[in-house]
Structure 1
């Protein structure tokens, strides 16, 4: 990450503020092709390793054959070179391995899907969709990706030699996904059986208590091969413990509780082999009475940014706030650079399309969270964005198989789009939604 930032600064290139991630983060045993030490001749992707974005839905849609490693992005086409000796390889054995991600924009996430090349694939041919078979799916709860940064993926024992692993990070709030390929050389026998359980979680505590919910947090466990999750159990003051959740991180919001009731909680860690730690110390807490007034405001929203900007609209997104009794809505305010802020929208979700704007004009936005009792959070950091210039005439219809140069404009579905980069279409009708290829301008 530091090397990438330094290289960008030397070249005078600004790193995109909200895009997006790669494999090779803290706690990772493996590293993606575009950031793998020893790989040379990478071209532009060496300075944008986080930007391998394309339509989701792989393998039915997404990058075409021969363009999978580059996510179909012409300026990153060096990644699509494919021979048995072209790329440096991660040396691994069959069995579980940790894949850690570095995120520059931890989008709300649906899931991660990991694929591996089939036995008998040809390493001297371009990567094809049919080259891969599904290896593992890592489900997520639609929260930010960085709440689950490391995944334990098991490499099958029937694979050996050079293979390519394809990781697909499927974003929840757009139709796109991010694609990373990882070159591996699989040798030896599976590692010794994992029989060591994780350490027990410690310091179980309440982060917020309402009349019908308890927010729990604890200090994470450790394990020689990585913790895959936590088993959360609950009991009344005199009842038996029963599992109420399988958390992926070191926190959980337990809901649907009774007011003015004592509950006990204990937590155990689980690894990928199914080994279970000892339980944490029991934590006791009593929910509030329904009559207690709610005086605690939510936390301020963070990460306000634009997913798309046209001549007349800005598509805003932000990271959700938290509240001891739940966030009811978000208040969005807008101002010109010298004007006063005024509310332009309010809704329950973490996004808003602000329309009816003026082309080529700077606007400032800030967002606050509101709970059911009317408590209002502090405002987010102000985010400024400038709408694009008007389209200046009728643009030709978009051709999914056409060749386009950066700056070309096309019309599709009643909107005008501008090419972000030079590329060749392959007939995929979903590419017009890929923000790495097209951006709406009117």
Structure 2
């Protein structure tokens, strides 16, 4: 009897660290071009807090841009646990070099497949100051790409190609919103580009 209790206690004690070692397997993020969450998860950017272990968890209220996260908290989906994603870092987030008018493919990596309403992609306006947090005032609130998904679940990875808007120079930010069909939430992914 005592051996069974010792064995059970040992197994329970071992299970706790294992459970903590594996973050909740949920949701998704843009892996290429690397989003801020992907850069943190890869260790390319440090000082990211919890997002380095949970790049897929940037979940916040849906309804963007009329609803959703408040200004200055958009890249973190309004989630204070991931506030490092909103910090402009002096305009020094690593960025992908692009040309206005070029076709660019955004690839999402999913760890949980949710019924999906749509994917929408927004870009900061000409003259955006990359040393400031992303707000609605410095975003073009008309998406440059909308992909309806009609309640279907995406596969494990999914790519969307878009022609980047013209009239942009310098450091810009793409805010991608994956809107879930059967909850009140969406997932937010910010990707830095240099035109």
TM-score above 0.5, yes or no: yes
Q: Does structure 1 conserve the Cα–Cα contact (< 8 Å) formed by 2:109 and 2:156? A: no
Deviations 1:318-342 (A, max 9, x none): xxxxxxxxxxxxxxxxxxxxxxxxx
TM-score w.r.t. structure 2 length? 0.82
State the match for 1:182 in structure 2. Answer: 191
Alignment equivalent of 2:34, drawn from 17, 31, 36: 31
> Alpha-carbon deviation of 1:40?
1.5
State the match for 2:98 in structure 1. Answer: 92
> Alpha-carbon deviation of 1:141?
2.9
> Alpha-carbon deviation of 1:107?
0.6
> Alpha-carbon deviation of 1:83?
4.3
Aligned to 1:23, the other structure's residue is in SS state: strand
Aligned-partner Cα distance in 2 for 1:103–1:167: 14
> Alpha-carbon deviation of 1:148?
7.5
| RMSD (Å) for aligned C-alpha atoms | 2.0
Aligned to 1:153, the other structure's residue is in SS state: strand
* 1:156-305 matches, cutoff 5 A: 156-186=165-195
Aligned-partner Cα distance in 2 for 1:99–1:10: 33
Gaps of 5+ in 2: 1-16
State the match for 2:128 in structure 1. Answer: 121
Deviations 1:41-94 (A, max 9, x none): 111111010000011010111111111111111111111111453311112223
Aligned to 1:76, the other structure's residue is in SS state: helix
Aligned-partner Cα distance in 2 for 1:118–1:149: 26
> Alpha-carbon deviation of 1:124?
1.6
Q: Which 4+ runs in 1 deviate beyond 6 A?
A: none
> Alpha-carbon deviation of 1:12?
3.8
Q: Are the structure 2 counterparts of residues 20 and 135 from structure 1 closer, same or farther at C-alpha, using a change threshold of 3 Å? A: same
Q: Are the structure 2 counterparts of residues 148 and 104 from structure 1 closer, same or farther at C-alpha, using a change threshold of 3 Å? A: closer
* Structure with greater Cα Rg: 1
Aligned-partner Cα distance in 2 for 1:147–1:85: 32
State the match for 2:5 in structure 1. Answer: none
* 1:37-76 matches, cutoff 5 A: 38-76=44-82
Alignment equivalent of 1:132, drawn from 139, 159, 181: 139
State the match for 2:159 in structure 1. Answer: 150
Alignment equivalent of 1:104, drawn from 92, 108, 111: 111
Aligned to 2:188, the other structure's residue is in SS state: strand
- Structure with bigger strand share is 1
Q: Does structure 2 conserve the Cα–Cα contact (< 8 Å) formed by 1:116 and 1:165? A: yes
Aligned-partner Cα distance in 2 for 1:145–1:32: 19
TM-score w.r.t. structure 1 length? 0.37
Q: Does structure 2 conserve the Cα–Cα contact (< 8 Å) formed by 1:84 and 1:162? A: no
Q: Does structure 2 conserve the Cα–Cα contact (< 8 Å) formed by 1:116 and 1:166? A: yes
- Structure with bigger helix share is 2
**Greater relative CO, 1 or 2 (CA 8 Å, sep 6+):** 2
